[in-house]
Amino acid sequence: MIVSKNVGANTAYEEKDDLVRAPMQSGKLPQAESEVSVYFGHIAPKTCDMRLDVGKMRVWIDFGEK
């Protein structure tokens, strides 16, 4: 996952503008999703995750309080 401070419809990606880079896990869904879906869930005390489904692929990342 990349969080950038330089975003816009016609903006070219510049790595120097990245605020955060974090690896995401991935897996396959049993059925293809017809639309892109983004989910946030509280999965444990002080921990949540973000899931993104596209077609037959799901990627996710966990966030925790420090």
pLDDT digit string, tens, across residues 8-60: 888 898 999 999 999 999 999 999 999 999 999 999 999 999 999 999 999 99
Residue 19 falls inside a structural domain: no
C-alpha 37/C-alpha 52 separation (Å) is 6
Tell whether 37 is covered by a domain: yes
Per-residue model confidence (pLDDT) at position 66: 76
| Residue 8 within any structural domain of the chain | no
Nearest-CA neighbor of 22 among 62, 54, 65, 66?
62
| Domain membership flag for residue 18 | no
Statement: the pTM of the whole predicted model exceeds 0.95: no
Instruction: Report the domain count for the chain.
Output: 1
Structural domain contains residue 62: yes
Output the six-digit token pair for 60. Answer: 């996710």
Residue 66 domain boundaries: 24-66
Measured from the Cβ of residue 35, the count of other Cβ atoms closer than 10 Å reads 7
